[in-house]
Amino acid sequence: RIMVVLSFLRTAMGTQQTPPNQVLVSLALFLTLFVMMPTFEAAFDQGIKPMIEGEIDEFQAFERSIVPFRNFMMNYVREQDLELFASISKLPDDEIRGEKMPMRVLIPAYMISELRRAFEIGFLIFVPFLIIDMVVASVLMSMGMMMLPPIIIALPFKIIFFVLVDGWFMIVGSLIRSFGG
């Protein structure tokens, strides 16, 4: 969700390669770590730590460590996406929810749910920038400046708009809050 939204933001602004991919991927990675840290800590405490202390074996550590990730994904997956992959996998109805849900069904359903949310957020990000593009294009057309590409004039307005509304604060804050943070 985070990387897709940041890519939509860059596309909506029309900055092509600014910020560079490395910056967007790094930001997405660290935001993901921030959002997922409670899940990582729970997985460590429930599975890895007891294994290191010799209380359980590797298989039990894996089974225990996966529970926080399963719970996280179950909180954010859409029922409709779960049902799609469950029906394709021919799972019985009693396994669609809860701890019986196989990860081979839960992970792709979660990914599809995240993509949908990212596209919804991306659409909302696009709207104000699209309005700026349309206003600039209309003004240029009314002035008879059809040969001047609107993107050249619109880009500085989009950048200043983004800076004035404190866009990074809003985008990052909204993304983190979209995970219940």
pLDDT of residue 95: 64
| CA–CA gap between residue 132 and residue 44 (Å, rounded) | 47
Q: Could you state, in order of their start, the residue ranges of all structural domains in the chain?
A: 2-177
For residue 74, give every residue at least 6 positions away whose Cβ sits within 8 Å of its Cβ, in sequence order, or none: 97, 101, 106
Query: CA-CA-CA-CA torsion for 144, 146, 149, 155, nearest 10 degrees?
Result: 30
Per-residue pLDDT for 7 more than 80? yes
pTM of the predicted model, to two decimals?
0.83
| CA–CA gap between residue 131 and residue 134 (Å, rounded) | 5
pLDDT in tens, 102-148: 888 899 999 999 999 999 999 999 999 999 989 998 998 888 887 88
Contact 132/14 with Cβ under 8 angstroms?
no
pLDDT in tens, 74-83: 989 998 998 8
